[in-house]
Protein backbone atom coordinates (compact mmCIF):
# COMPACT_ATOMS: atom_id res chain seq x y z
CA UNK A 1 0.00 0.00 0.00
CA UNK A 2 2.82 2.44 0.88
CA UNK A 3 4.42 1.74 -2.48
CA UNK A 4 1.16 2.49 -4.30
CA UNK A 5 0.81 5.76 -2.38
CA UNK A 6 4.35 6.77 -3.26
CA UNK A 7 3.80 5.94 -6.92
CA UNK A 8 0.66 8.06 -6.96
CA UNK A 9 2.43 10.98 -5.35
CA UNK A 10 5.41 10.74 -7.71
CA UNK A 11 3.05 10.71 -10.69
CA UNK A 12 1.04 13.67 -9.41
CA UNK A 13 4.14 15.70 -8.50
CA UNK A 14 5.54 15.13 -12.00
CA UNK A 15 2.31 16.46 -13.50
CA UNK A 16 2.41 19.49 -11.20
CA UNK A 17 6.05 20.18 -12.16
CA UNK A 18 4.98 20.18 -15.82
CA UNK A 19 2.14 22.61 -15.11
CA UNK A 20 4.32 24.98 -13.09
CA UNK A 21 7.11 24.96 -15.68
CA UNK A 22 4.60 26.17 -18.31
CA UNK A 23 4.17 29.39 -16.36
CA UNK A 24 7.77 30.17 -15.39
CA UNK A 25 9.42 33.20 -17.04
CA UNK A 26 11.96 32.70 -19.81
CA UNK A 27 15.47 33.49 -18.57
CA UNK A 28 16.40 36.24 -21.00
CA UNK A 29 16.56 40.05 -21.27
CA UNK A 30 18.25 42.71 -19.14
CA UNK A 31 16.48 41.45 -15.98
CA UNK A 32 17.58 37.86 -16.64
CA UNK A 33 19.06 37.52 -13.14
CA UNK A 34 15.70 37.93 -11.42
CA UNK A 35 14.17 35.29 -13.70
CA UNK A 36 17.02 32.93 -12.86
CA UNK A 37 16.56 33.50 -9.12
CA UNK A 38 12.80 32.98 -9.33
CA UNK A 39 13.11 29.82 -11.39
CA UNK A 40 15.89 28.45 -9.19
CA UNK A 41 13.74 28.85 -6.09
CA UNK A 42 10.84 27.01 -7.75
CA UNK A 43 12.89 24.27 -9.41
CA UNK A 44 14.90 23.39 -6.28
CA UNK A 45 11.95 21.18 -5.43
CA UNK A 46 9.36 20.66 -2.75
CA UNK A 47 6.35 18.55 -1.85
CA UNK A 48 4.05 20.60 -4.13
CA UNK A 49 1.42 19.99 -1.48
CA UNK A 50 -0.63 23.13 -2.11
CA UNK A 51 -1.17 22.73 -5.87
CA UNK A 52 -1.71 19.00 -5.34
CA UNK A 53 -4.40 19.48 -2.73
CA UNK A 54 -5.97 22.26 -4.81
CA UNK A 55 -6.44 19.98 -7.79
CA UNK A 56 -7.73 17.10 -5.65
CA UNK A 57 -10.44 19.32 -4.16
CA UNK A 58 -11.24 20.66 -7.64
CA UNK A 59 -11.78 17.10 -8.85
CA UNK A 60 -13.73 16.19 -5.70
CA UNK A 61 -16.35 18.73 -6.75
CA UNK A 62 -16.34 17.54 -10.36
CA UNK A 63 -13.85 19.99 -11.88
CA UNK A 64 -12.19 18.72 -15.03
CA UNK A 65 -11.00 21.78 -17.02
CA UNK A 66 -7.54 23.34 -17.25
CA UNK A 67 -8.68 26.55 -15.52
CA UNK A 68 -7.23 25.17 -12.28
CA UNK A 69 -3.70 25.06 -13.69
CA UNK A 70 -2.69 28.76 -13.52
CA UNK A 71 -3.91 28.80 -9.92
CA UNK A 72 -1.85 25.69 -9.13
CA UNK A 73 1.25 27.48 -10.43
CA UNK A 74 0.30 30.71 -8.64
CA UNK A 75 -0.11 29.14 -5.19
CA UNK A 76 3.31 27.48 -5.47
CA UNK A 77 4.87 30.80 -6.51
CA UNK A 78 3.40 32.52 -3.45
CA UNK A 79 4.54 29.72 -1.15
CA UNK A 80 8.04 29.84 -2.64
CA UNK A 81 8.12 33.62 -2.31
CA UNK A 82 7.45 33.27 1.42
CA UNK A 83 10.27 30.71 1.76
CA UNK A 84 12.77 33.01 0.01
CA UNK A 85 11.98 35.77 2.49
CA UNK A 86 11.86 33.35 5.46
CA UNK A 87 15.45 32.31 4.75
CA UNK A 88 16.88 35.84 4.69
CA UNK A 89 19.41 36.87 7.35
CA UNK A 90 16.89 39.38 8.75
CA UNK A 91 14.40 36.54 9.28
CA UNK A 92 15.53 32.93 9.95
CA UNK A 93 19.03 33.33 8.46
CA UNK A 94 19.04 29.87 6.86
CA UNK A 95 21.68 28.95 4.28
CA UNK A 96 20.14 25.71 2.99
CA UNK A 97 16.68 24.63 1.92
CA UNK A 98 15.83 21.23 0.48
CA UNK A 99 19.53 20.43 0.57
CA UNK A 100 20.50 23.32 -1.71
CA UNK A 101 21.80 26.86 -1.01
CA UNK A 102 19.01 29.29 -0.25
CA UNK A 103 18.31 32.02 -2.80
CA UNK A 104 20.11 34.72 -0.80
CA UNK A 105 23.21 32.54 -0.52
CA UNK A 106 23.26 31.82 -4.24
CA UNK A 107 22.17 35.17 -5.70
CA UNK A 108 22.83 37.64 -2.87
CA UNK A 109 20.65 39.36 -0.31
CA UNK A 110 19.42 42.05 -2.70
CA UNK A 111 18.38 39.64 -5.45
CA UNK A 112 16.67 37.36 -2.93
CA UNK A 113 14.49 40.23 -1.71
CA UNK A 114 13.60 41.11 -5.29
CA UNK A 115 12.98 37.46 -6.23
CA UNK A 116 10.57 37.03 -3.33
CA UNK A 117 8.73 40.21 -4.33
CA UNK A 118 8.75 39.22 -7.98
CA UNK A 119 7.25 35.78 -7.40
CA UNK A 120 4.53 37.23 -5.18
CA UNK A 121 3.41 39.65 -7.93
CA UNK A 122 3.96 37.19 -10.79
CA UNK A 123 1.68 34.72 -9.01
CA UNK A 124 -1.29 37.03 -9.51
CA UNK A 125 -0.29 37.72 -13.11
CA UNK A 126 -0.26 33.95 -13.59
CA UNK A 127 -3.63 33.39 -11.90
CA UNK A 128 -5.20 36.12 -14.05
CA UNK A 129 -4.36 34.08 -17.16
CA UNK A 130 -7.37 31.93 -16.24
CA UNK A 131 -9.60 34.72 -17.60
CA UNK A 132 -8.50 33.77 -21.14
CA UNK A 133 -9.82 30.24 -20.64
CA UNK A 134 -13.38 29.06 -21.16
CA UNK A 135 -14.53 29.35 -17.58
CA UNK A 136 -16.91 31.42 -15.47
CA UNK A 137 -15.19 34.80 -14.95
CA UNK A 138 -17.15 35.31 -11.70
CA UNK A 139 -15.62 32.12 -10.24
CA UNK A 140 -12.17 33.17 -11.43
CA UNK A 141 -12.59 36.58 -9.80
CA UNK A 142 -13.70 34.95 -6.55
CA UNK A 143 -10.70 32.61 -6.66
CA UNK A 144 -8.29 35.54 -7.14
CA UNK A 145 -9.98 37.36 -4.24
CA UNK A 146 -9.40 34.32 -2.00
CA UNK A 147 -5.79 34.10 -3.18
CA UNK A 148 -5.19 37.76 -2.29
CA UNK A 149 -6.94 37.64 1.10
CA UNK A 150 -5.22 34.45 2.25
CA UNK A 151 -1.81 35.78 1.13
CA UNK A 152 -1.98 39.31 2.50
CA UNK A 153 -2.20 41.14 5.82
CA UNK A 154 -5.25 39.13 6.90
CA UNK A 155 -3.57 35.88 5.88
CA UNK A 156 -0.03 34.56 5.49
CA UNK A 157 1.77 37.91 5.77
CA UNK A 158 -0.29 38.84 8.82
CA UNK A 159 0.77 35.58 10.47
CA UNK A 160 4.39 36.17 9.54
CA UNK A 161 4.20 39.64 11.07
CA UNK A 162 3.05 38.38 14.46
CA UNK A 163 5.57 35.53 14.32
CA UNK A 164 8.44 37.98 13.77
CA UNK A 165 7.20 40.42 16.40
CA UNK A 166 6.99 37.70 19.05
CA UNK A 167 10.37 36.11 18.32
CA UNK A 168 12.41 36.12 21.55
CA UNK A 169 9.17 36.68 23.48
CA UNK A 170 7.08 34.06 25.29
CA UNK A 171 3.94 33.22 23.31
CA UNK A 172 0.71 31.81 24.74
CA UNK A 173 -1.48 29.19 23.05
CA UNK A 174 -3.92 31.75 21.64
CA UNK A 175 -1.12 33.72 19.99
CA UNK A 176 0.51 30.57 18.64
CA UNK A 177 -2.78 29.33 17.18
CA UNK A 178 -3.22 32.71 15.48
CA UNK A 179 0.26 32.55 13.93
CA UNK A 180 -0.20 28.97 12.75
CA UNK A 181 -3.67 29.60 11.33
CA UNK A 182 -2.41 32.49 9.23
CA UNK A 183 1.26 31.72 8.54
CA UNK A 184 0.77 28.08 7.53
CA UNK A 185 -2.95 27.46 7.33
CA UNK A 186 -3.92 30.41 5.14
CA UNK A 187 -2.30 29.12 1.93
CA UNK A 188 -3.72 25.65 2.49
CA UNK A 189 -7.13 27.24 2.99
CA UNK A 190 -6.64 29.21 -0.23
CA UNK A 191 -5.61 26.07 -2.11
CA UNK A 192 -8.62 24.04 -1.06
CA UNK A 193 -11.14 26.88 -1.33
CA UNK A 194 -9.96 27.84 -4.83
CA UNK A 195 -10.33 24.23 -5.94
CA UNK A 196 -13.90 24.20 -4.63
CA UNK A 197 -14.81 27.61 -6.06
CA UNK A 198 -13.53 26.88 -9.56
CA UNK A 199 -15.45 23.59 -9.60
CA UNK A 200 -18.69 25.35 -8.70
CA UNK A 201 -19.12 24.41 -5.04
CA UNK A 202 -21.83 26.23 -3.10
CA UNK A 203 -21.12 28.73 -0.30
CA UNK A 204 -21.76 26.22 2.50
CA UNK A 205 -19.45 23.65 0.90
CA UNK A 206 -16.70 26.26 0.52
CA UNK A 207 -17.05 27.09 4.22
CA UNK A 208 -16.66 23.42 5.18
CA UNK A 209 -13.60 23.19 2.93
CA UNK A 210 -12.07 26.22 4.68
CA UNK A 211 -12.61 24.60 8.10
CA UNK A 212 -11.03 21.34 6.92
CA UNK A 213 -8.03 23.22 5.50
CA UNK A 214 -7.55 25.10 8.77
CA UNK A 215 -7.26 21.79 10.62
CA UNK A 216 -4.86 20.38 8.03
CA UNK A 217 -2.72 23.52 8.30
CA UNK A 218 -2.55 23.24 12.07
CA UNK A 219 -1.62 19.54 11.94
CA UNK A 220 0.98 20.25 9.25
CA UNK A 221 2.65 22.98 11.30
CA UNK A 222 2.69 20.93 14.50
CA UNK A 223 4.33 18.11 12.54
CA UNK A 224 6.88 20.66 11.32
CA UNK A 225 7.63 21.59 14.93
CA UNK A 226 8.11 17.93 15.80
CA UNK A 227 10.46 17.33 12.86
CA UNK A 228 12.52 20.42 13.70
CA UNK A 229 13.18 18.82 17.08
CA UNK A 230 13.53 15.14 16.15
CA UNK A 231 14.82 14.97 12.56
CA UNK A 232 18.25 15.60 11.01
CA UNK A 233 19.44 18.15 8.48
CA UNK A 234 20.16 15.34 5.99
CA UNK A 235 16.61 13.97 6.17
CA UNK A 236 14.80 17.29 6.43
CA UNK A 237 16.82 19.10 3.76
CA UNK A 238 17.13 22.22 5.94
CA UNK A 239 18.71 23.05 9.30
CA UNK A 240 17.07 21.44 12.34
CA UNK A 241 16.65 23.06 15.77
CA UNK A 242 15.97 26.27 13.85
CA UNK A 243 13.10 27.22 16.18
CA UNK A 244 15.32 26.88 19.23
CA UNK A 245 18.10 28.85 17.55
CA UNK A 246 15.67 31.67 16.80
CA UNK A 247 14.08 31.54 20.28
CA UNK A 248 10.64 30.73 18.89
CA UNK A 249 7.77 29.35 20.90
CA UNK A 250 6.35 26.25 19.19
CA UNK A 251 3.52 23.83 19.78
CA UNK A 252 6.05 21.36 21.17
CA UNK A 253 7.51 23.82 23.69
CA UNK A 254 4.02 24.60 24.98
CA UNK A 255 2.55 21.09 24.98
CA UNK A 256 5.46 18.63 24.96
CA UNK A 257 6.54 16.18 22.30
CA UNK A 258 4.21 13.28 23.08
CA UNK A 259 1.08 15.43 23.40
CA UNK A 260 2.00 17.20 20.15
CA UNK A 261 2.15 13.85 18.34
CA UNK A 262 -1.28 12.89 19.72
CA UNK A 263 -2.75 16.24 18.73
CA UNK A 264 -1.47 15.94 15.15
CA UNK A 265 -3.25 12.61 14.85
CA UNK A 266 -6.45 13.90 16.46
CA UNK A 267 -6.69 17.08 14.37
CA UNK A 268 -5.96 15.16 11.16
CA UNK A 269 -8.69 12.61 11.90
CA UNK A 270 -11.16 15.43 12.51
CA UNK A 271 -10.27 16.89 9.10
CA UNK A 272 -10.83 13.53 7.40
CA UNK A 273 -14.21 13.09 9.09
CA UNK A 274 -15.31 16.56 7.96
CA UNK A 275 -14.06 15.76 4.45
CA UNK A 276 -16.60 12.94 4.32
CA UNK A 277 -19.41 15.49 4.72
CA UNK A 278 -18.69 16.75 1.22
CA UNK A 279 -20.23 15.30 -1.94
CA UNK A 280 -18.23 12.80 -3.96
CA UNK A 281 -15.26 10.82 -2.78
CA UNK A 282 -11.52 11.26 -3.18
CA UNK A 283 -9.59 8.49 -1.46
CA UNK A 284 -6.26 9.94 -2.52
CA UNK A 285 -7.12 13.21 -0.76
CA UNK A 286 -7.74 11.24 2.43
CA UNK A 287 -4.43 9.41 1.96
CA UNK A 288 -2.68 12.73 1.41
CA UNK A 289 -3.97 14.11 4.70
CA UNK A 290 -2.85 10.92 6.45
CA UNK A 291 0.57 11.25 4.88
CA UNK A 292 1.01 14.72 6.35
CA UNK A 293 0.89 13.38 9.90
CA UNK A 294 3.54 10.72 9.27
CA UNK A 295 5.90 12.56 6.89
CA UNK A 296 9.59 12.67 7.72
CA UNK A 297 10.50 15.80 5.76
What's the half-sphere exposure (Cβ side, CA atoms, 13 Å) at 152? 10
**Backbone dihedral angles phi then psi of residue 97, each to the nearest 5 degrees:** -145, 130
Q: What is the pTM of this model?
A: 0.90
Q: Return the pLDDT at 238.
A: 53
Answer yes or no: is pLDDT of 4 > 50: no
Question: What is the pLDDT at residue 1?
Answer: 34
Highest mean pLDDT out of 153-162, 165-174, 226-235: 153-162
Per-residue pLDDT at 5: 59
Is residue 75 over pLDDT 80? yes
What b-and-e string marks burial along 226-263, b requiring 16 or more CB atoms within 10 Å of the CB?
bbbbebeeeebbbebebbeeeebbbbbbebeeeebbee
Contact predicate 277/270, CB 8 Å? no
Q: Which domain holds residue 262?
A: 2-294
Q: Following DSSP, what letter does each residue of the chain receive, concatenated?
A: -HHHHHHHHHHHHHHHHHHHHTTSPPS-STTHHHHHHHHHHHHT----HHHHHHHHHHHHTT--STTHHHHHHHHHHHHHHHHHHHTSTTTT--SEETTEE-HHHHH-HHHHHHHHHHHHHHHHHHHGGGGGSSS-HHHHHHHHHHHHHHHSTTTHHHHHHHHHHTTTS---HHHHHHHHHHHTHHHHHHHHHHHHHHTT--HHHHHHHHHHHHHHHHHHHHHHHHHHHHS-HHHHSS-SSHHHHTT---HHHHH-HHHHHHHHHHHHHHHHHHHTTSSS--HHHHHHHHHHHH---
Averaged pLDDT of the chain: 90
pLDDT at res. 241: 57
* CATH code assigned at 54: 1.10.600.10
Q: How many Å apart are CA 258 and CA 261, to the nearest integer?
A: 5
More confidently predicted of 35 and 277: 35
- What pLDDT score does 151 carry? 97
pLDDT number for residue 231: 66
* pLDDT band per the 50, 70, 90 thresholds, residue 176: very high
- Contacts (Cβ under 8 Å, ≥6 apart) of 292: 49, 216, 219, 220, 223, 268
pLDDT at 276: 86
Q: How many domains in the chain?
A: 1
pLDDT for 243-290, tens place per residue?
Answer: 666 667 899 989 999 999 999 989 988 998 898 888 877 788 888 888
The residue-averaged pLDDT of 181-200 equals 96
Q: Which pLDDT tens digit goes with each residue over 194-239? A: 999 999 999 999 999 999 999 999 999 999 899 988 866 565 555 5
Name the pLDDT band for 2 (thresholds 50, 70, 90): very low
Q: Report the C-alpha gap between 89 and 104 in whole angstroms.
A: 8
pLDDT band at 32 (very low <50, low <70, confident <90, very high): very high
How confident is the model over 91-147, as pLDDT tens digits? 989 999 888 999 999 999 999 999 999 999 999 999 999 999 988 999 999 999 999
Question: What does the pLDDT read at residue 237?
Answer: 55
Amino acid sequence: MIQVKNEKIIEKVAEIERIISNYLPVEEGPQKTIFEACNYSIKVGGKRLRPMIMKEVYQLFGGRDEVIEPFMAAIEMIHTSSLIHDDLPCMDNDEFRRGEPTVWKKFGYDMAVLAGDALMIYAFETAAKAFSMKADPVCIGQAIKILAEKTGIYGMIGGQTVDVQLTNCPMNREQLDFVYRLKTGALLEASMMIGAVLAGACEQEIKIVEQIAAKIGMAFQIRDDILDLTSTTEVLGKPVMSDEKNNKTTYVTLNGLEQSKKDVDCISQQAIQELKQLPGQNLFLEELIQMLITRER
